[in-house]
Amino acid sequence: MDHRKLKQVIYDQHDVIQRAVIVRREYSFEPNGNYILTGIRRSGKSTILYSMVQKLIEDGADWQQIIYVNFEDERMAEFTLADFSDLVEIASELSDKTPYYFLDEVQNIDGWERFARRMADAKEHVYITGSNSKMLSAEMEARLGARYFSKVIMPYNYREYLAARGLPHDEEALYTSRGIGRLKRAASDLMHEGGFPESLNFTDKRAYVESVYQKILLGDIALRNDIRNVTGLRIMMNKIADTVGREISFSRLYNLLRGIGVKLSKDTIISYIGFAKDAYLIFSLRNYFARFEERESTPKYYWR
């Protein structure tokens, strides 16, 4: 790939990171470890990479050591597996010091894991993000062996949400009427609007969350898995939302859908739920005190 174009992508990303205002997240990382960050779309994976870069710069690294590429940049549309070697060459062109590679949304490049393995074996520093079912922790561990640590990144938890909104939550805030009222209102907002970091930049936060949901439903689930009955998928997810926090079997879900005229087989329902879990849209909890057959067939579903 044209080195001038790659350098432009890298330097433009440096500018973005320098201007980024970071809310510190409650994730810790081994200083000498290589990482894959996965999780639901818009949960803040890229921002965590920005935070890593800023920390490296604070600790004395040069910007020329930072090789950050966002593979959703339209200028990377023609990038292929063979072009990864160009990143190594550019790192040498920019600095004689140790490079740090940040590969954002790398799942867009087929075969990327081969490069990731090679770099880890060469003792390079590599940090990777991805957002779809190809980036599941279990699958990545099989592909990459023990070369990378894997972390699933979620939207803000309550403490992170308070920090992002600039709301005090120290001991004084917990013991004053005004502080308690603010914390209660923030908890209600978090439950209603969700904890997607970028949503705080918008007035209509629910509309933002809805747009993320549609992108996951139609893109990460329906399109990626070649689902033709999108209406059936959408109604099934609505029914799961209606039963959130309550145990529901595949048979009951099948009957609920059939009762309103949606024809999905049990096997299809099981597949669709698996796709939604792979996209990090929902997760399930099982009653480990129940009998095995009940534990496996009647989980509770929750939304990320």
Q: CB neighbours of 57 closer than 8 A, spacing ≥ 6? A: 63, 66
Strands 125-129 and 35-38: parallel
Report d(CA 188, CA 104) in Å as an integer. Answer: 33
pLDDT of amino acid 108? 87
pLDDT at 145: 75
Residues 6+ apart with CB under 8 A from 122: none
pLDDT at 228: 94
pLDDT for res 5: 96
Per-residue confidence (pLDDT) for residue 284, from 0 to 100: 85
CATH 1.10.10.10 residue ranges of the chain are 205-303
CATH dotted code for 205-303:
1.10.10.10
N residues, the chain: 304
- Strand ranges, E, within 4-65: 35-38
pTM for the whole thing? 0.87
Q: Looking at domain 3-152, does it have CATH number 3.40.1280.10?
A: no
> Beta strands 282-285 and 300-303: pairing type?
antiparallel
Mean per-residue pLDDT pooled into runs of 10, the chain (304 residues): 96 97 92 90 94 96 98 95 97 97 93 94 94 62 80 94 94 90 96 94 95 93 94 96 86 94 96 91 76 65 80
Looking up tokens 């609920």, which residue turns up?
256
pLDDT of residue 294: 58
